Structure 1
Amino acid sequence: MPGTLKNYYEILGVPRSATTDQIRTAYRKLLLKFHPDKNVGDTYFEEWSKKINEAFEVLKDPEARAEYDLVYDDARAASKQTATVNKNDPGNTPPVETTHPLSIDATIQKLAPVYVSAKQAYIKSARNVEAIENRLKMKRMNAAIHFLLGGVMILAILVWVALTNKNLFQAVSSPDPPVADRATIIPLPALVKREATMAGNQTGFETVDLWLKVVTTKAYFFEQPEGAVLDDKFLSKGNKVHAIKKAGNYYFSVFQSAVNNSYKIEGWVKAADVEILAQ
């Protein structure tokens, strides 16, 4: 097509006298700069990549190059002749667009470095912004991890303190029960057992050596079997006493607190309020 044939030498930026090696070198340099894989989605780079490939496919082959040169020279000569006729004939209206396509390609090629520089600056700025955002994201993530680790550490310390001071927390959180409710039985001295045995032999009471467990809500102590209660003294359910005498349905029992050595109860308890523990 006369007047519209592309100037492949201008596209590759080489003179018409360039050798095949020079053409190949120029092609490789331009392809590295305009390859669409480096600028995905940019139509400008895609179009220039197509033009560079098209020019190289023609100029790398000597036969195709020679044919192209011949056709290009004819097209250029025809274009110049048409322009001269139009200029000499006043009746001919000049075309609206008089700029030759070859000059358009040349202009684009001149502007290409500016566009490429701007594009590379944009890509660099975008990468810097992305790097800054990644650093901020990492800082936020590190802060969250440190906060979580701090919470776990505080929780572990609280659990450790609770376990090591379990008795202290129980004493603070619950009111003190009566001494009889939280006391444990300690074995009676051998002297007390001997005295009880002697008293049993003298009075006719049956001498025993039993451990009893309170099974009712309250087990009261009496002065004598079926006698009066000893100042409302009692043991709550679950406590244990040591019985040394028995008279009918009553046991003479001794309770000695292991928590408070000064707390001691002696008296008769009903057999119905206790049960004998295995020896």
Structure 2
Amino acid sequence: MPGTLKNYYEILGVPRSATADQIRIAYRKLLLKFHPDKNVGDTYFEEWSKKINEAFEVLMNPEVRSEYDLVYDEARAASRPTAAVNKDAAEKTTPGEGRPAITVDASIQKLAPVYVSARQAYIKAARNVAAIEARLKVKRTNTVPHFISGGILILVILVWVGVSNKHLLEKLLAAPSSVVDQASVLPLRPKLQQAQTPVTAERDTEQVPINLRLRVVAAKAYFFEEPGGAVLDDKFLSKGNKIHALKRAGNFYYGVFQSAVNSSYKIEGWLKTEDVEILAQ
């Protein structure tokens, strides 16, 4: 075919009505003959190998092939009347009167291969997107069973730890009850109660080092300068954010929040224990 639009049927040596099997057989035969590995350094065989692969990809894709046939037929039909006009003009023109006229179908022939290639790339991209969406759907479907099995495994581990340390749990559960019973039987004197009041306050504000990962469960978790003190310039975190807790004092955690998006953004201060929950280590 004239111009830049290639005749893929002619390259593979098959008729316009060739089936997919006929195209595949012709492709294999030509590829064995013109494969560049058998003719290393020969640019002729390399170019023909590229042409054969290009023709095979276009003709084996039904959508791209139909688009190619349509463009091919339009370009061929447009070139026929133009060729006749150019022939008559050439016969009437004497040598040296001027350059031959530009054919009307030149732009069509130049754009046709670009259109076919773009259409082919679009179809491949659409198929890749569909495949990715299918994999994501399968992954989401498989997440629920994994979550359930993980929860069951954690429950089994907790039960096993509880059974293995049954005597330790009994001691821990028995210790508070004995103190309560003793306090109810032998109440403290008024002076003794007054003397112990400051000790309780010191324990509530005593800062104990910890290393925990917390998650905000309140709609807004505010940071304080000190346990029960003023709010730090109205700074807070919304529900779902994670914090690294370093200390605890009474009903407050001293936490540090570091933004994963902006490393320079950092908040630290005291938060209420009721606004957060401890994540599993």
Question: TM > 0.5 between the two?
Answer: no
Q: Calculate the TM-score normalised by the size of structure 2.
A: 0.31
Q: Using CA pairs below 8 Å that are at least 6 residues apart, which structure has the higher relative contact order? A: 1
